[in-house]
Amino acid sequence: MKIENIKDEFPIFDEKILNNDLVYLDSANSSQKPKVVADKINEFYTKQFSNVGRSVHYLAVAATNLYENTRSSVQKYINAKDKNEIVFTKGATEALNLVANTLGQKYLNDGDEILITELEHHSNYVPWHFLRKSKNIKINFAEVNENGDISLEDIEKKITSKTKVIAITHLSNVTGAILPIKEITDLAHSKGIIVVIDGCQGAPHLKLDMQDLDCDFYAISCHKMYGPTGLGVLYGKKKWLEELPPYQGGGGMIREVKKDKISYGDLPNKYEAGTMATAQVIAFDQSIKFMESIGIENIMKHEADLVEYGQELLQKNNSVKLIGNPKNKGGVLSFTLEGVHPHDIATILDEDGVAIRAGHHCCQILHDKLNIPASARASVGIYNTKDDLDKLNESINNCKKIFNLK
């Protein structure tokens, strides 16, 4: 599939939003869905529906096969070694909670330290904070530098003899910084430290290879990857998933249940308690296939072009201040406009059909550091074009006019 015409695959772009064509620049928040994904969900609910894995009738067998096919597709897509290293969750946030909680139960002890960064999304901070509360665990922060980036050097500096886990984002959802996660993983492993990667912004935009990367955990948010809402993927090394205790208890994750004792099932069942997001998992296979049909290299090139173009546009625009100028930058353009609050920017842009996000983007630590309460953020996906960024820029100019800025 050619990336040039890819907008055609997304039905929403046929809609008029407030009489405008939709200029969707909020993909870091959630991506739009290609027709194949919506169609698959519809087909499943109207022609094939059954719960998976629990019945032996025809529909249940078919659904179970579809469900497990997605697991295999994800495994291949991220090049995991084993199919059972893929656990479906309700989202990346749950995936990160699962890791923090189970490491907390079995691996972390009083006095241990966890290293995160000032760039982290609340979903990769609050779950660790829970451990700080329940156990006597310390959280350290690697510092964001003036480019909105985290350096390997600062990570190294912040590691102590008590650091047990490094939990870190692959790509900042505010500054767009792509972190050197392979180097960080190598460094961490040389000191026996577990590496947990928040891959929410990495997975939709970057090439993934778990065996090469060698991290211990990697969390993915499917709705940002052209997939359904209510679904996430946790990649975890088999060794860890086998060693750690289960997270939620219920149907499907057990082996044997007695009144005085319970034994748990094997992977991946152990971490998939209760009826899972069946339809969503089954449809997510289409998201993966869709991305594969375009090719991640093409996606990366397309988005890199867009960022470069957008960055130049905004840098040239008076009163616009871009946030973050990291060495490697993903498709996120966060900015402030002198004297105009981001929420006002977002409202004015919306009137032109330009959808962006305003706020702290679940990164209060970073915004505190930057000494701003909020920022405006335009973020790209495969369907965006340079034309979209031109419209963004025009609309920002409209905003300046209203606020009497030059």
Ligand X SMILES: Cc1ncc(COP(=O)(O)O)c(C=O)c1O
Chosen residue from 113, 198, 216, 388 binding ligand X by CB under 6 A: 198
Chosen residue from 147, 298, 364, 397 binding other proteins by CB under 8 A: 364
Among its own copies, other proteins, ligand X, none, the one that 341 touches (CB under a kind-dependent 5 to 8 A) is other proteins
Which stretch, 7-15, 169-177, 261-269, 297-305, contacts other proteins (CB under 8 A)?
A: 261-269
The nearest distance, CB 229 to ligand X, in angstroms, is 8
Q: Crossing angle, helix 386-402 and helix 342-351, to 10 degrees?
A: 120
Could you tell me which of 117, 83, 399, 144 has the C-alpha nearest to residue 268?
83
Name residues whose C-beta falls within 8 Å of residue 21's C-beta, 6 or more positions apart in sequence.
13, 353
Residue 50 Ramachandran class (φ > 0 left, ψ -120 to 50 alpha, else beta): beta
Pairing mode of beta strands 20-21, 163-169: unpaired
Among ligand X, other proteins, its own copies, none, the one that 198 touches (CB under a kind-dependent 5 to 8 A) is ligand X
Look up residue 109 and give its two tokens: 């002890």
Task: Determine if 47 is a binding residue for its own copies (CB under 8 A).
Answer: yes
Could you tell me which of 270, 277, 237 has the C-alpha nearest to residue 252?
270
Among ligand X, its own copies, other proteins, none, the one that 84 touches (CB under a kind-dependent 5 to 8 A) is other proteins
The nearest distance, CB 4 to ligand X, in angstroms, is 27
Among other proteins, ligand X, its own copies, none, the one that 85 touches (CB under a kind-dependent 5 to 8 A) is none
> 294 to each of 72, 199, 233, 299, 307, how far by Cα in Å?
19, 20, 21, 7, 19
Q: Which burial class, exposed, middle or buried, applies to 87 when counting CB atoms under 10 A from its CB (0-12, 13-18, 19+)?
A: buried
Which stretch, 7-15, 52-60, 188-196, 326-334, contacts other proteins (CB under 8 A)?
A: 52-60
Interacting residues with other proteins between 72 and 131 (CB under 8 A) = 84
399 included as an active-site residue = no
Q: Out of 215, 222, 362, 399, which one is annotated catalytic?
A: 362
267 touches 241 (CB < 8 A): yes
Q: How far apart are CA 295 and CA 391, in angstroms?
A: 27
Which stretch, 183-191, 228-236, 295-303, 316-324, contacts its own copies (CB under 8 A)?
A: 228-236
Among other proteins, its own copies, ligand X, none, the one that 169 touches (CB under a kind-dependent 5 to 8 A) is ligand X
Task: Determine if 395 is a binding residue for its own copies (CB under 8 A).
Answer: no
Could you tell me which of 96, 169, 153, 174 has the C-alpha nearest to residue 128?
96
Nearer to its own copies, 111 or 274 (CB): 274
> What is the size of the binding site for ligand X (CB under 6 A)?
18
Among ligand X, its own copies, other proteins, none, the one that 388 touches (CB under a kind-dependent 5 to 8 A) is none
Interacting residues with other proteins between 262 and 291 (CB under 8 A) = 265-266, 269
The nearest distance, CB 31 to other proteins, in angstroms, is 21
Task: Catalogue the E-assigned strands of 331-380.
Answer: 332-337, 354-355, 357-359, 375-379
Interacting residues with its own copies between 104 and 163 (CB under 8 A) = 105, 121-123, 125-127, 129-130, 134, 139, 141
Backbone phi, then psi, for 142, in 5-degree steps?
-70, 145
Look up residue 87 and give its two tokens: 């656990």
Indicate which residues carry an active-site annotation. 362
